[in-house]
Structure 1
Amino acid sequence: MYGAFVVAAGLMGLAMVLLNTYAKTILIFVWNCFFKPFTKSSADGRDQQAALESFYQGQASIYDITRSKLLQGRETMMQLCASHITVPDPVWVDIGGGTGWNIEKMDEFKKVSEFKAVYLIDLSPSLCKVARERFAAKKWTNVHVVCADATAFSLPDNIKAADLITMSYSLSMIPMFYAVIDRLQKIISNDGIVAVVDFYAQSTATLCGRTNLGGELLRHVNWFSRTFWRLWFEFDRVYLDSSRRDYLEYQFGTIKSINSRNNLLGRIPYYIWLGCLKRRDSELARKINALATESPYLLPVNSSPEIHVLDNEEDLTVRSKGYEAAVINLQRNFPLPSFFYQSEIWRIFYDERHRKYNQFAGQYIYAFTWEDPREDDKILKFKPTDTVLAITSAGDNILAYASMPNPPQRIHCVDLNPYQNHLLELKLAAFSTLEYSDIWKLFGEGRHPDFVELLVTKLAPKLSSHALQYWMRNKKTFTKKGLYDTGSTRWAIRIAKWIFWIAGCTDEVKKLCQATSITEQKMIWTDKIRPALINPLVAAIILRNPLFLWKALGVPQHQAEMISSSSGDFLTYITDTLDPLIERSLISEDNYFYLLCIQGFYTHSNCPAYLKKDAYTRLSKPGALDGIRIHTDEIVDVVARIRSHTVTIAIVMDHMDWFDQDGVDATKEIRALNHALKMGGRVLFRSASKHPWYTRVYEAEGFKCKAAQVREKNRSIDRTNMYASTWVATKVRDLEDNASVDRLEL
């Protein structure tokens, strides 16, 4: 009893000590940050070092404890730096490094001992003292603390340049920030990286005419937040004016840019930015040349590394939008668009500010692809000499083509929805960097508990800045929601599950996924599931609702009209779609499309071809994905910039069902395809109609159309059976006047 009393008293005493220590820490922080700036003892603003020392001297010992929640993004910046550094034995300069927290944190991601030298620059003697004590305890002999003004710091004579320069919440505290940024250009190596994390407050007014930002997601800060946070931080000599970040982005090329909010403390805006010299190296010149040669803007094998952008511009017959943006930026002395500074050249430049991207409301429609790539290969018989143009969708089919034993040499991926392309880009980055087990968790199961760490430490160097921003913003896709419960079409799957739950046949749906014979599968479907799903009530409430058809099923108005005219009723169309599948093959073994819809994930034995182990072996080889280019644009705009007679196969899915019969969109696109395709080249398209109206347009514009598959009653044409027909249009003649493409105002 006495012993228990002593232990309890001891614990209470310890708790009081800890509580008092914590309270004291908070009081010191509050005094120095919120009250001291208004006292007469605050240093004269004309002496920056005295001002900093006045601010930090009383809180240097507790600085790291009190900043852990305030200064978010520092760890992420360190991880990005570690994953993007490519030079051996790099030299690192940490400007405004304070207590050395950044350097100690970096050791977790890239050993400090791997750096040739590390220099911490800070103007506050009190913070430098803490840093020296920290590094002495670590026994790091290659780390040097320099108490100096960043505008006056010079590298030692034996160090030619810095390979990494970081600024962690220091740019906003430097009065002569432009001088420091100019100085960074002089000490950074050709392959070096500049990284900044800091507070900011910017509006869209600062974005006018700029294509070099690396993404605008969350960049805008509303008027109230801009005004409030600027005034708040100015009390502590922290300045959130947009000129600091603007000048940084003007003087350097943007590699990565992430805009975020500190949700723990009033949603304070902050950003993480990685940059490099404007004209970084010969590889940049090669990328610019690649844009001016042949779509998909692949670099010719024997091309010269010299830049010919301005000298030979008049000789170019094909100019990409990226090339044109590069010319404009170079003429104005602006950095190039961030796409030019990425390590991979999968993603082709697009201007995200264009209003045509607004229609997608910040999300993709399809988390997986409905079209059956096995049927595509049966019909088209891909060859290694093929150049393929295909709609991206969720990228499953693109990777199915690329993972073939003898894949097409080039694949153009086209989608107007930027977020569909972000998903494909993530998959390409994953196959370039991750182990098969991680690939399976991400895209087989649709969830990965370590997605954020994988994204920052492994995937980020392979992603464009736009894609990285998107996945940083939507990391819950893989950590909580699950990939296959995202996208607009998730609502169709959710509604179907609700219907099954209301009808009391949820257990039967599970059994359908485990059926071992067609007889068993058919019995489960006929007795329980079919009556719940296919009935007049469901049709009246859901299937005849235009909003549901578009938002949940991805069926636009014109395609819905085609379904009604060919089948008489949407319920009949759904019946003719689903009934034949039950007798075709087992959902549990050979229909991963519906298996995924029912249970939310794939199995190793029943999954898309690109998720098989042998496909991973092929796709993860160095250079296996080099033939892929991702275009964020309309098909007609992409093919208009392709050299004529270079594409052998175009796969446009059911895309043309979306066109208005009375418009000119179909004619424009078909003429553009004729311009791009080689003689004998083929266009594969699917339709909700057995006899789509636009086959007549193909015939009039130099093609011969033939139905490859037509759905009949009680017979499916592929494993999804979503479409009434599949067609192949073969180019049999060139248009007499290819200029007619231009006359249709491509």
Structure 2
Amino acid sequence: MSTALANDFVGGFLQHAADVKDTLGETAHIKSIALAVGFLSTFASKSFLVFIWACFFKPFTSSKVHEDHQNNLETFYKTQAKFYDTTREILLQGRDEALKLAFSHAKANSSRGKKLVWIDIGGGTGLNIEKMDKRVAKLSENFTAVYLVDLSTSLCEVARERVAKQGWTNVHIICGDACTFEIPEEHADLITFSYSLSMIPLYHSAVDHAEKLLNPDSGIICSVDFGVQSESNSIGRTNTLGGMVNRHVPWIFRTFWRIWFECDKVFLDPSRREYLEYKFGTVKSVNCYNRTLGKIPYYIWLGVNKQEDYQLVYRFNCLATESPYLAPVDPKKNQPAGNEDTPVSKALEAALDNAKKGLPYPSLFYQRQAWRVYYDELSDDYECFKNQYIYAFTWEDPREDAALLNLTSRDTVLAITSAGDNILSYATLPDPPKRIHGVDLNPCQGHLVELKLAALTTLGHDDMWKLFGEGKIENFEEILITKLAPHMSSNALQYWLAKGPKAFDPSGKGLYDTGSTRWALRLARFVFAISGLSKKVSELCKAKTLNEQREIWKESIRPVLLSTLVGKLLVGNKVFLWKALGVPSNQAAMMGDILQYVIDTLDPIIGNSLISSDNYFYYLTLTGRYRPTNCPDYLSKQGFKVLSRKQNSPLEGIRLHTDYLNNVLRRLSKKTISVAVIMDHMDWFDPEGDDVNDEIDALHGALCEGGRVMLRTASKKPWYINNFEQRGFKCEAAATRYSGQMIDRVNMYASTWICTKKPAFTDRKMSTIELDKF
């Protein structure tokens, strides 16, 4: 009978493996089959029957609970200790990922070359230690000492046998209480709870004891465990949690699994995780389901000392970069942040509010890098983006920006974030700006740029190229967890764990077939396919001379793409312009005849810019990838070398704001921005509204004397230029596009403007003639 049951069980596993193959690929498929085969041999044996008896039947035979917790553990584990690891592999998911995350963060926080002290609390048979040694980091090379602590004598005996078999000389087994054990060292650099906190009755004491042992400056504590959370558990403390992706577990799963596991004295109540999140600052938080065994909820969580972690000092110092005249403050003191004329960052407001309540600071305060500025993840303002970025690449030409603005290290630049290509280009300049503020209301645009920043910080050029040059890479999740995660916010990590494996899948279409604008690219490919032009488009992208490019365009592609029929159905359709190209109705109205506008955009490009070698914007659009000799500056070998250097990297000056431009401008100290690059942002405003004046006033306040605003627009002279001039700016068209002429490699806009803030004279009023001369 047991063999039949095993066969049924494995049959389900094989079906699951087929589903895994469809969604995650061949490697995951093979691993699932291997698990099924392994379980077949186990389940058909006595060990399977003992496992079933101990976990699913024995808890219902007696309600007696021993006062001595060690006695309870022995009663449960004594008969299963020898085959514990085999029967738990499929149940206790996420342990490999948790170890990789924990080690990568602990190593990143430690002094270079320093070996770590690791305590695995509730480590059982020592399987976690073996996983660390074989799959993550060699114990002999990375750890001074490793301590396994467990109260079960049977499990500890298996652990001792494992230590002897592996020949580890720096691993020590402590058969003792998680609340009182001691180690010779003063502090540990890494402390882990792997499916153990849910089984510790006095978990408050165990967590408090771990807090005392953790290195206060740079130690990492990690828990991977079952747990049920809901949105109601997070009220009033969402900014401490490191993101809300999959945080809410539906009522049916919360109720069923909590009752089921309590029969085995395993407690999935949210209080254990909540206590961790109260005692420590959250560095990373990942919410998952074990879908193989019925969608059991589990989590992976990493934290640091909430008051003493060295990153806190750095983060508070970095508040001065959000609002440059704000001095660093002592958040433990209930002191005012400044007078009414001094802007206060949202981060500082949130930190002071948390400090009053005894809560950890916002999770973003504990991140290794200060790139991402604090934002309220649950704001209603972000709902319209539906948890996706619009642009996977940036359409503005930074070569023209550099030529027009002549940026130097004396500049502080504020720019629309978009996909980050332009702000990274500014950072590769010979004398880059001392500070670059990227602003975008869409949080996912910030997640994309964080991924690029982390990759530039940790990866070699080959992997960087695969990620963002080709948009495809093997083992994305492994690279994300082991290399990139320590340099990203928890919010961005959650996003890319969910979206990244599919976006970068080598068998898929790649990164540049993501984002809202992917529909325009797909539609273009569809039009080319049904028109029989795909081959000609490929030839266009390989053309070696402008004459060859012009001929292919004129004879084959242009007659179809710019035909009246396609124009009316696609580029002339306002629904298509917004949904596929991100062109709002106000901007579309500024274009006039839209089909003619598109003709004036594309014809000069074909005639003057060789797509194959000097126009990565259209090359990417048509091919879905870049070329090493035709790519954004940050992907070139020279640009990568500048940005990835370990000392004085220009990346240190980048800050990413997730907010309305107005809000960011008003929270920056007055007269601290020298250049604001706002792309075509102003075209979106309603000419009948007052919002445009509010933004111009905010720009005027944030810009220093002589500060400049650079903008692009769909009009040769947009209506809002008069508003700029009425509010103290001198405005000049730096480039105007006429039919048949190209103003930059994108050529998508009718004009580019530089609006310069006029100097303020307090001693006398300037005459109209003097103002005009300025």
TM-score (norm 1): 0.92
What's 1:514 paired with? Answer: 542
Judged with a 3 Å threshold, the aligned counterparts in structure 2 of structure 1 residues 134 and 669 are, in CA distance, closer, same or farther, namely: same
- Structure 2 residue ranges without an equivalent (≥5): 1-35, 763-774
Cα separation, 2, equivalents of 1:633 and 1:418: 8
2:110 pairs with 1:89: no
Cα separation, 2, equivalents of 1:641 and 1:305: 17
What's 1:110 paired with? Answer: 137
What's 2:678 paired with? Answer: 652
Amino acid across the alignment from 2:710: L
Deviation at 1:305, TM superposition (A): 9.1
What's 2:453 paired with? Answer: 428
State the Cα deviation string for residues 545-574 of structure 1 (Å, max 9, x = none): 4443222111122212222xxx22x22222
Q: Of 233, 239, 246, which residue of structure 1 is paired with 2:267?
A: 239
The correspondence of residues 60-209 of structure 1 with structure 2, limited to 5 A, is 60-85=81-106, 86-87=109-110, 88-107=114-133, 108-113=135-140, 114-155=142-183, 158-190=184-216, 191-209=218-236
Q: Of 401, 405, 414, which residue of structure 2 is paired with 1:376?
A: 401
Q: Of 55, 65, 69, which residue of structure 1 is paired with 2:76?
A: 55
Cα separation, 2, equivalents of 1:329 and 1:116: 36
Amino acid across the alignment from 2:498: R
Cα separation, 1, equivalents of 2:248 and 2:559: 50
What's 2:769 paired with? Answer: none
User: Is 2:620–2:626's contact at 8 Å kept on the other side of the alignment?
Assistant: yes
Q: Of 639, 646, 666, which residue of structure 2 is paired with 1:615?
A: 639
User: Is 1:196–1:273's contact at 8 Å kept on the other side of the alignment?
Assistant: yes
Deviation at 1:27, TM superposition (A): 3.4
Cα separation, 1, equivalents of 2:116 and 2:636: 39
Cα separation, 1, equivalents of 2:139 and 2:761: 64
User: Is 1:289–1:308's contact at 8 Å kept on the other side of the alignment?
Assistant: no
The correspondence of residues 529-678 of structure 1 with structure 2, limited to 5 A, is 529-563=557-591, 567-568=592-593, 570-622=594-646, 623-624=648-649, 625-678=651-704
Judged with a 3 Å threshold, the aligned counterparts in structure 2 of structure 1 residues 659 and 309 are, in CA distance, closer, same or farther, namely: farther
User: Is 1:675–1:734's contact at 8 Å kept on the other side of the alignment?
Assistant: no
User: Is 1:286–1:305's contact at 8 Å kept on the other side of the alignment?
Assistant: no
Amino acid across the alignment from 1:595: Y
User: Is 2:345–2:667's contact at 8 Å kept on the other side of the alignment?
Assistant: yes
Aligned residues: 711
Query: The residue matched to 1:99 in structure 2 has which SS?
Result: coil
User: Is 2:105–2:486's contact at 8 Å kept on the other side of the alignment?
Assistant: yes
Judged with a 3 Å threshold, the aligned counterparts in structure 2 of structure 1 residues 499 and 172 are, in CA distance, closer, same or farther, namely: same
State the Cα deviation string for residues 36-62 of structure 1 (Å, max 9, x = none): 22124x762544223222222222222
2:59 pairs with 1:37: yes
User: Is 1:283–1:305's contact at 8 Å kept on the other side of the alignment?
Assistant: no
Cα separation, 2, equivalents of 1:171 and 1:543: 58
Q: Of 693, 708, 721, which residue of structure 2 is paired with 1:682?
A: 708
State the Cα deviation string for residues 330-380 of structure 1 (Å, max 9, x = none): 111110011111111111111101111111111100000000000111111
C-alpha RMSD of matched pairs (Å): 2.2
2:386 pairs with 1:361: yes
Judged with a 3 Å threshold, the aligned counterparts in structure 2 of structure 1 residues 405 and 99 are, in CA distance, closer, same or farther, namely: same
Cα separation, 1, equivalents of 2:709 and 2:297: 48
Report percent identity of matched pairs.
Answer: 53
Cα separation, 2, equivalents of 1:312 and 1:606: 52
Q: Of 322, 325, 334, which residue of structure 2 is paired with 1:295?
A: 322
Amino acid across the alignment from 2:136: F
State the Cα deviation string for residues 517-557 of structure 1 (Å, max 9, x = none): 22221121122222322223323333344443222111122
Deviation at 1:733, TM superposition (A): 4.1
What's 1:462 paired with? Answer: 487
Cα separation, 1, equivalents of 2:584 and 2:37: 66
User: Is 1:294–1:643's contact at 8 Å kept on the other side of the alignment?
Assistant: no
State which drifts further: 238-247 or 282-291.
Answer: 282-291
Q: Of 496, 503, 521, which residue of structure 1 is paired with 2:524?
A: 496
Amino acid across the alignment from 1:487: G
Cα separation, 1, equivalents of 2:244 and 2:174: 36
User: Is 1:588–1:595's contact at 8 Å kept on the other side of the alignment?
Assistant: yes
User: Is 1:294–1:318's contact at 8 Å kept on the other side of the alignment?
Assistant: no
Judged with a 3 Å threshold, the aligned counterparts in structure 2 of structure 1 residues 732 and 16 are, in CA distance, closer, same or farther, namely: closer
Cα separation, 1, equivalents of 2:557 and 2:91: 54
Cα separation, 2, equivalents of 1:279 and 1:20: 50
User: Is 2:323–2:667's contact at 8 Å kept on the other side of the alignment?
Assistant: no
Deviation at 1:66, TM superposition (A): 2.1
What's 2:757 paired with? Answer: 731
Query: The residue matched to 1:390 in structure 2 has which SS?
Result: strand
State which drifts further: 430-439 or 547-556.
Answer: 547-556
Cα separation, 1, equivalents of 2:131 and 2:147: 15
Cα separation, 2, equivalents of 1:433 and 1:76: 19
Cα separation, 2, equivalents of 1:647 and 1:436: 33
Amino acid across the alignment from 1:590: D
Judged with a 3 Å threshold, the aligned counterparts in structure 2 of structure 1 residues 350 and 131 are, in CA distance, closer, same or farther, namely: same
Query: The residue matched to 1:578 in structure 2 has which SS?
Result: helix
User: Is 2:311–2:365's contact at 8 Å kept on the other side of the alignment?
Assistant: no
User: Is 1:702–1:735's contact at 8 Å kept on the other side of the alignment?
Assistant: no
Cα separation, 2, equivalents of 1:239 and 1:17: 28
User: Is 2:323–2:343's contact at 8 Å kept on the other side of the alignment?
Assistant: no
Cα separation, 2, equivalents of 1:631 and 1:462: 17
Amino acid across the alignment from 2:611: I
Cα separation, 2, equivalents of 1:337 and 1:694: 39
Amino acid across the alignment from 2:305: L
State the Cα deviation string for residues 593-652 of structure 1 (Å, max 9, x = none): 111111111111111111111111111112311111111111110110111111110000
Cα separation, 1, equivalents of 2:403 and 2:41: 74
Cα separation, 2, equivalents of 1:552 and 1:326: 40
Deviation at 1:32, TM superposition (A): 2.1
Amino acid across the alignment from 2:93: Q
Judged with a 3 Å threshold, the aligned counterparts in structure 2 of structure 1 residues 581 and 272 are, in CA distance, closer, same or farther, namely: same
Query: The residue matched to 1:404 in structure 2 has which SS?
Result: coil
Cα separation, 2, equivalents of 1:534 and 1:601: 24
Judged with a 3 Å threshold, the aligned counterparts in structure 2 of structure 1 residues 309 and 640 are, in CA distance, closer, same or farther, namely: farther
What's 1:5 paired with? Answer: none
Judged with a 3 Å threshold, the aligned counterparts in structure 2 of structure 1 residues 309 and 544 are, in CA distance, closer, same or farther, namely: farther
Cα separation, 2, equivalents of 1:309 and 1:501: 66
State which drifts further: 18-27 or 275-284.
Answer: 18-27
State the Cα deviation string for residues 272-294 of structure 1 (Å, max 9, x = none): 11101111245523422431x35
Judged with a 3 Å threshold, the aligned counterparts in structure 2 of structure 1 residues 675 and 67 are, in CA distance, closer, same or farther, namely: same
What's 1:258 paired with? Answer: 286
User: Is 2:473–2:504's contact at 8 Å kept on the other side of the alignment?
Assistant: yes
Deviation at 1:308, TM superposition (A): 8.1
Amino acid across the alignment from 1:485: D
State the Cα deviation string for residues 475-523 of structure 1 (Å, max 9, x = none): 2211244111111101100000011111111111111111112222112
Q: Of 442, 461, 469, which residue of structure 2 is paired with 1:417?
A: 442
Q: Of 413, 416, 426, which residue of structure 2 is paired with 1:401?
A: 426
Deviation at 1:297, TM superposition (A): 5.3
Cα separation, 1, equivalents of 2:405 and 2:338: 38
Cα separation, 2, equivalents of 1:314 and 1:582: 56
Deviation at 1:110, TM superposition (A): 2.3
